[in-house]
Amino acid sequence: MADMTRRKALGTIGALAAATTLTPGEVLARSGRSSAGRLKHSVSRWCYGKIPLDDLCEAARGIGYRAIDLLDEKDWRVPASHGLVCAMANGFGRIPVGFNRPDQHDKLVADGERMIPLAAAAGVANIVCFSGNRGGMSDGEGVTNSIAGLKRLTPLAEQHGVTLCLELLNSKVDHKDYQADHTAWGAEVVKGVNSPRLKLLYDIYHMQIMEGDVVRTVRDNFAHIAHFHTGGVPGRNEIDDTQELNYRRVMQAIADLGFTGFVAQEFVPKNDPLTSLRKAFEICDV
């Protein structure tokens, strides 16, 4: 994507996306297309890192996306200039080092206390957080430790209307030893904290690898889920017919539950990135 210039991006989406006073739905309508509108769609920034963020925002909005995911603090306000929002902030802590370690709680809480008010002021509704790796720790101990640490932050999150999203990741392929690798484990943490401002980031790609049975699992744990990520299995590439999940059916099930959060594309495109992003929108727009 070294040749992805601003002019090329604008040529891809047309002049419609430059009219930033229009909503994504209005852009679609003027292009002769329509959206089912039952789900709100987002794009994970890191998957399109070679495209300048402003260009990505313009392209995403022209397709019908309403948000950008996983932005660092310096970029939180960029989507707003394109009629979008930042639906999920990169958070505090790291995937291997998270809330299951009591010796990390003071730092994680301090970082969260700084970030949560700033996210609220920037209009960012969600911040991702992590369990950390097991490192020999039992699942029960990890749940107990994570509850204790997250309970220290959720009162502030409630005060500012920001949701902490504990991400579920696979420990089989991508994140060896990660503890929040099953929905049931994450749900136990959420139930133990018992705050409306702690939910799960349910990554469909990761949970298909770990446990499958995606639609049933989402239905059974719907009350605990604030956000979804996608990705083709295997490989985390396009969510088309090159991979094993029927993403359109999964999205229909999520929409049927009345989901009001965002579904974010988090696949690494093998083909032209913006073409793949458009096709993913068409698959998930139910």
Domain presence at residue 145: yes
Residues 214-234 have a mean pLDDT of: 98
Cα(225)–Cα(189) distance, integer angstroms:
12
pLDDT digits (tens, 9 = 90+) for 53-100: 999 999 999 999 999 999 999 999 999 999 999 999 999 999 999 999
* Count of domains for the chain: 1
Q: Domain containing 86 — which CATH number? A: 3.20.20.150
Residue 32 has pLDDT above 90, yes or no: no
Closest to 90 (Cα-Cα) out of 60, 127, 123? 127
Residue 13 has pLDDT above 80, yes or no: no
Residue 103 has pLDDT above 60, yes or no: yes
Report the number of secondary-structure helices (H) and strands (E) in the chain: 11, 8
Domain presence at residue 28: yes
Residues 233-252 have a mean pLDDT of: 97
Domain presence at residue 1: no
Domain presence at residue 17: yes
3-class DSSP assignment, residue 247: helix
| E-strand stretches of 130-203 | 163-167, 198-203
DSSP H helices in 122-165: 139-151, 154-160
pLDDT of residue 35: 61
Confidence of residue 37 (pLDDT cuts 50, 70, 90): confident
Cα(68)–Cα(151) distance, integer angstroms:
28
Longest CA pairwise span in the chain (Å):
56
Residues 208-226 have a mean pLDDT of: 98
Cα(216)–Cα(17) distance, integer angstroms:
37
| Token couple for 219 | 């239905």
Domain presence at residue 14: yes
pTM: predicted TM-score of the whole model, two decimal places: 0.88
* 21 contacts: CB under 8 Å, gap ≥ 6: 83
Residues 8-34 have a mean pLDDT of: 42
Range with the poorest average pLDDT among 18-22, 36-40, 50-54: 18-22
Range of the domain at 141: 6-284
CA 92 to each of CA 52, 131, 203: distance values in angstroms, whole numbers, following the listed order? 24, 11, 18
Domain presence at residue 19: yes
Domain presence at residue 242: yes
Residues 137-166 have a mean pLDDT of: 98
Q: Are 274 and 59 in contact (CB under 8 A)?
A: yes
